[in-house]
Structure 1
Amino acid sequence: MLNGSCLCGAVAYEADAPVERIVHCHCHTCRKTHGTAFSSVTAVSRDKFRWLRGEEVLGAIESSPGKLRRFCSRCGSHVMAERVTQPVVLLRLGCLDTEVRNVPQVHIWRSDAAPWYDPKIGLPEKQEGL
């Protein structure tokens, strides 16, 4: 069971599904939407996904024809994306409350990638902030 929520806790969901594949998307709209170099997502079957609370505070933007990015209108967290005609929804891994230990499988849309980030370059790591 996967559980997720927004930053302020107003929106929560669950999905009775495992994380099978993690994708880092570098497309222009993911970068703009999340203000990051990429967005990490996993797809789960639509029929296994359900909102637990907060549907009334969800906002949405159609970022490309037929694709809705759903976010909490209170805190701004982007929690999921969907194409309503598709059998899966895309969960934003940063909003998962369930610990996931899977390793990402692929970077997509590298043609749109931020020029200041290259996943092939290893960087020093710190356990906390600067």
Structure 2
Amino acid sequence: MLGHCLCGQVEFEIVGESFKLYQCHCSLCRRQGGSLSNAATIVPNEKFRWLAGAEFISSWMKESGFRSDFCSICGSPVPNPLRNLPYIWVPTGLLEDNGDLQIVAQLCVAYKASWDPTILQGVCYDELPNLSEFISLLQAAKA
């Protein structure tokens, strides 16, 4: 599955389609994307490959560890390493083919914006879930 930023300078590929999506409703994710929530997935490093434009990626990190990588040309959020783990966080709005992807979890529902009318689908977590269990949920094979 191919993905790219708004201007097309940063391009990447996710190998395989056995991953699922989540939405995060925390204030950091809302601010990062300028929307109701952030839709993303987490994939193992070996399933992710940069195709072009890595030199255009800039990073910003909050003291808490929240990291935001973005295209320095158009400002789109782009994939970034998940902490010191062997995974990549991928904002799914960048994917070319949204095909048969499914949202399976909602994070930080307790922080959902009061004006957000979204009907939540999938498992809802008021806070951030246990990371290893959460990654297993996202990597689960499609039924």
Q: TM-score range by the shorter chain?
A: 0.7 to 0.9
Counterpart position of 2:51: 52
TM-score, structure 1 normalization = 0.82
Instruction: Give the C-alpha shift of residue 90 in structure 1.
Output: 1.3
Instruction: Give the C-alpha shift of residue 61 in structure 1.
Output: 1.3
Preserved CA contact (<8 Å) 1:21 1:105 = yes
Q: Distance in 1 between matches of 2:105 and 2:84?
A: 24
Q: Which amino acid aligns with 2:94?
A: C
After TM superposition, the structure 1 = structure 2 runs for residues 90-101 of structure 1, keeping only pairs within 5 Å, are 90-101=89-100
Q: Structure 1 residues 3 and 84 mapped into 2: Cα distance closer, same or farther (>3 Å)?
A: same
1:34 matched to 2:30? The reply is no
Q: Structure 1 residues 47 and 23 mapped into 2: Cα distance closer, same or farther (>3 Å)?
A: same
Q: Structure 1 residues 79 and 65 mapped into 2: Cα distance closer, same or farther (>3 Å)?
A: same
**SS of the residue 1:105 aligns to:** strand
After TM superposition, the structure 1 = structure 2 runs for residues 111-126 of structure 1, keeping only pairs within 5 Å, are 111-120=110-119
Instruction: Give the C-alpha shift of residue 81 in structure 1.
Output: 3.4
Identity across the alignment (%): 29
1:61 matched to 2:60? The reply is yes
Q: Distance in 2 between matches of 1:88 and 1:54?
A: 20
Q: Structure 2 regions of 5+ residues with no counterpart? A: 121-143
Q: Structure 1 regions of 5+ residues with no counterpart? A: 122-130
**SS of the residue 2:103 aligns to:** coil
Instruction: Give the C-alpha shift of residue 60 in structure 1.
Output: 1.0
Q: Structure 1 residues 64 and 111 mapped into 2: Cα distance closer, same or farther (>3 Å)?
A: farther
Q: Structure 1 residues 15 and 120 mapped into 2: Cα distance closer, same or farther (>3 Å)?
A: closer
Q: Which amino acid aligns with 2:97?
A: T
Aligned residues: 120
Instruction: Give the C-alpha shift of residue 14 in structure 1.
Output: 0.9
- Which deviations, in whole Å up to 9, do the C-alpha atoms of 1:56-94 show, x marking residues without a partner? 111111145444321101111112233341121111110
Counterpart position of 2:69: 70
